[in-house]
Amino acid sequence: MRRQNTQGYVPPEAIEKARSVDLLTYLKTYEPYELMRCGNNVYCTKSHDSLKISNGKWFWWSRGFGSSNALDYLVKVKGLELPEAVRILTDTTVVRPSFSLPEAKVKRYDRLMMPRHNFACRKARQYLVARGISERIIDDCIAKRTIAESDRYGSVFFIGYDEKGEMKYCSWRATDGTTNRKDIAGSDKTYTFRLIAEGKKDSVFVFESAIDLLSYATILNANGGDYKHENLLSVSGIYAPSGSYENTKVPVSLTDFLSKNPQVKKVFLCYDNDDKGRRGAAALGYVLGGRYEVKFTPPPDGSKDYNDYLMNLINDKKREVKANEDNRKNDAR
């Protein structure tokens, strides 16, 4: 009888069984002392506070990767060999610790904890221009103090104010080439970043992020329009239910905007051109459709989002200019 190599070989069915265990279940069972509650149905670990667990999935924001199972966590985060990780997740004889899940004290802020910042925005301006955003629009936002820059890191800040002109919301985005972004502690999403029309308009254009909003404004101006004549609202992420639409959550910033602007009858959802964007738009169309004309208006030409579409337009223009220059050179010969 041939002896199996139990050190390196892992049967596919064992791997499949191990992959069925989600990270939250694993941590509650085997490492409850590592698990911390850091929000409504959101958890993180004591060892890695940027590793967030929610809705059956986890993502390590500081490293830029995630998964839907505990096996990848044990291998990619804790550094275990695959056979050992599979054994832990499939061995029913393992004695489980009798810890209870600690309730972490979630910090609640009654005001925006705004970091030190400036409105010179050297790095922020450079970053936004590189993303294709119009310098005129950037300057307008800086003048209105809705765009600022972190003194410490050079990150770009997108700021929202209440009716009294008090700073209530801020999201930051890294300018160092990473995809890091987050809302500042104490942000009130009622007042997300926006560009409001001069005069009453009967429509509002809604975006997942400030970058997409600014990209749309840039495209609008480039095509002969004027962003100052439109209501442009970012909602800082979207809710995309996987099941029934009945309990869909309307972004609080959109709810507040619509309640304060009764003249608005049309809502254009300029969400990303992906499954989450389509589901989020369909859900909002379901709950708002009885009172508003709701349209899903993703970026054209199969672009991922409006910044992707803007960069495609810019690159197409560059190629056109180069082709014309090459043709002129050939004609001159």
- The ranges assigned to domains in the chain are 12-90, 117-317
Amino acid at 19: R
The residues facing 172 across adjacent strands are 157, 182
CB 259 within 8 A of CB 163: no
Domains 12-90 and 117-317 share a fold: no
CA 150 to chain centre: 19
pLDDT at 127: 96
From residue 159, how far is each of 182, 192, 294, 332 by CA, in Å? 12, 7, 27, 52
Stated as kind and residue range, the H or E segment containing 210 is helix 210-222
Q: Give Cα 187 distance to the centre of its chain.
A: 15
Of 55-69, 160-174, 218-232, 255-269, least confident by mean pLDDT is 55-69
- Is domain 117-317 in CATH 3.30.470.10, yes or no? no
Question: At residue 121, what is the residue type?
Answer: C
CA dist 204 and 124 (Å) reads 27
The angle subtended at Cα 143 by Cα 299 and Cα 133, nearest 5°, is 25
> Which CATH fold topology does 12-90 show?
DNA Primase; Chain A (3.90.580)
More confident position, 39 or 1: 39
Whole-number Å distance between alpha carbons of 230 and 222: 15
pLDDT value for 1: 33
pLDDT averaged over the chain? Answer: 86
Looking at 68-152, list the stretches that DSSP marks H as alpha helix, in order from N- to C-terminal side: 70-72, 82-90, 122-130, 135-143
Mean pLDDT of 256-278: 94
pTM of the model: 0.67
Q: For residues 276-292, give the mean pLDDT.
A: 89
pLDDT for 128 equals 97
Q: Are strands 42-45 and 194-195 parallel, antiparallel or unpaired?
A: unpaired
What are the tens digits of pLDDT across the range 113-164?
999 999 999 999 999 999 999 999 999 999 999 999 999 899 999 999 999 9
Q: What is the DSSP string of 242-298?
A: SS-STTPPPPHHHHHHHHH-TT--EEEEE--SSHHHHHHHHHHHHHHTTTSEEEE--
The winner for highest mean pLDDT among 6-20, 54-68, 95-109 is 54-68
What is the DSSP secondary-structure string of 128-193?
A: HHHTT--HHHHHHHHHTTSEEEETTT--EEEEEE-TTS-EEEEEEE-SSSS--EEEPTT--GGG--
159 and 147 in contact (C-beta within 8 Å)? yes
108: confidence class by pLDDT, cuts 50, 70, 90? low
